[in-house]
Structure 1
């Protein structure tokens, strides 16, 4: 017991010194579930840049490609990017629909670190299943249920195994990642299964907040805006260097943001000693940028959901007013 207490005291000392040196998350341990690409990768890198040790999981490795079919983005590469940012990245292959694989990931984190401070549930990979413009009964049942498995069941399985480790120390943070806020998702999100899949994490964060508050932990749901993920850039046939060329095809793309933006949003939450004020809330990258003062990679502060709220109301706002 004395040895364990001494270890905790030393860890606290390291964390305090690191924060004073500008590495707010040095000594902290994060698990980013679904960190192969897009928002998950950017969140892992931002946590690493703040000094965290980050376990990054996903199904696509340099040896195996998931059903998403994007071989160029792997968890190993994400871990290397975390290292390059100044943290420590650890790639662990895992299918988060397999309870035993998730259990093994958490047991490894416990064995190697003895703690978990930040859990990010960014598991998805269901874009290839989406069929907009169809009614519920017109969509193949297997496709719809697979979307719910990927975007809802996987989050539940991960939290089930990870939260007992996270609450071991007070101050833990759980981030559910989705598409849209509680406010923006009051309307129909274009398709029955997609609507359910993307609304569920908002409610999960609210529910987990009730379960975690007695342990000094915080649960929130965070959404990026119009995300310029690798897959989205490919869809429009552009790169991060010339992404504005896609605005001619899709005018709303003018408010798009890089994955770094939501990464910085989650890192800011993790570094905020008073983040419990957000407990149970649904938050956007643009909202958190205004709160914490960070910017996107290009120095702007896009507010996509402020923009789309007006679009959904039938207005025609100027995208320039939301960058």
Structure 2
């Protein structure tokens, strides 16, 4: 294992949540990280939330790396092309691409059948979840493949095996998250001749800023949320999946994962990292063996 000093990363969609955790952990390993998103100190996206890309960049730098915030709407090809040209001019290389663009939490209609779901919101969700990733990879990959052992991480929700047999409670959400997994597999085929690796990666039940707010808790007292949602005991911080990406990026045998669908909990068992509290939550095994099996909440043996 080596550190990431001298490596250049782009975390697309790093304003908050998993993207922020990933960017910070790449910084902790010494990388220079371009963090992109639409919310800045001067302008909020339609999310209308306080988190900004400047804050994320500061966290990256404070962790030991070099954070560079760039406001980008990843649905706009011209903005993405300009971003990649800037990275090439300033750094001359790109070693790690993380496609974590999402931004659709507020337009999902859960447990609503396709014919009743807002078509406008559903198609917007697909554009945010799929088109953004394709546009970003289109412009970023020519720079990434110039260096051997480049890594592309397609962030999603759920493992390939889990999503293949479980409906994700919304037609549009189901299509969005499953499509990204297939996207990573397809990218793996295209990148293999260039000695680069693409994977799909899912966190478990993520304690994002929005999730903590939903349950009325903070990171330091998150366990209190289990009083209302007992299964929240299996949740994990955004830094946990961040450590997944940092570990992958430092693996000299990275190519063994090419095309795979991976989870933060699975990789923790391989690489030995832990979450903040020193545990290794394995959410997706818990989902199958406890939640889907209808058993009462009990994380014993799962974290």
Query: TM-score, structure 2 length as denominator?
Result: 0.97
Shift of 1:93: 0.3
2: CA distance, partners of 1:85 / 1:98: 31
2: CA distance, partners of 1:81 / 1:40: 12
2: CA distance, partners of 1:314 / 1:297: 28
Shift of 1:88: 0.4
2: CA distance, partners of 1:313 / 1:258: 22
Aligned to 2:123: 145
Aligned to 2:70: 92
Give 3-state SS (helix, strand or coil) of 2:301's partner.
Answer: helix
Give 3-state SS (helix, strand or coil) of 2:112's partner.
Answer: coil
2: CA distance, partners of 1:37 / 1:276: 29
The reply on whether 1:174 has 2:155 as its aligned counterpart is no
Give 3-state SS (helix, strand or coil) of 2:200's partner.
Answer: strand
The reply on whether 1:77 has 2:55 as its aligned counterpart is yes
Residues 1-323 of structure 1 aligned to structure 2 (within 5 Å): 19=2, 24-70=3-49, 72-186=50-164, 187-311=166-290, 313-316=292-295, 318-323=298-303
2: CA distance, partners of 1:104 / 1:240: 36
Give 3-state SS (helix, strand or coil) of 2:178's partner.
Answer: helix
2: CA distance, partners of 1:124 / 1:136: 20
- Structure 1 residue runs of 5 or longer lacking an equivalent are 1-15
Superposed CA offset, 1:288-322 (max 9, x none): 00000000011000001010022464341632221
Give 3-state SS (helix, strand or coil) of 2:35's partner.
Answer: strand
Shift of 1:96: 0.1
Superposed CA offset, 1:138-171 (max 9, x none): 0111000010011111000000000000001111
Question: Bigger radius of gyration, 1 or 2?
Answer: 1
Give 3-state SS (helix, strand or coil) of 1:321's partner.
Answer: coil
Q: Which has the higher contact order (CA 8 A, sep 6+)?
A: 2
Number of residue pairs the alignment of both structures matches: 301
Superposed CA offset, 1:154-213 (max 9, x none): 000000000000001111000000111101112111110000011111001100000000
1: CA distance, partners of 2:114 / 2:293: 25
- Structure 2 residue runs of 5 or longer lacking an equivalent are none
2: CA distance, partners of 1:68 / 1:321: 37
Contact preservation (8 Å) 2:4, 2:29: yes
2: CA distance, partners of 1:130 / 1:310: 27
2: CA distance, partners of 1:25 / 1:201: 26
Give 3-state SS (helix, strand or coil) of 1:65's partner.
Answer: coil
2: CA distance, partners of 1:231 / 1:123: 16
Shift of 1:284: 0.3
2: CA distance, partners of 1:87 / 1:313: 40
Which aligned runs of 4 or more in structure 1 are off by greater than 6 angstroms?
none
Give 3-state SS (helix, strand or coil) of 2:33's partner.
Answer: strand
Query: TM-score, structure 1 length as denominator?
Result: 0.92
Give 3-state SS (helix, strand or coil) of 2:278's partner.
Answer: coil
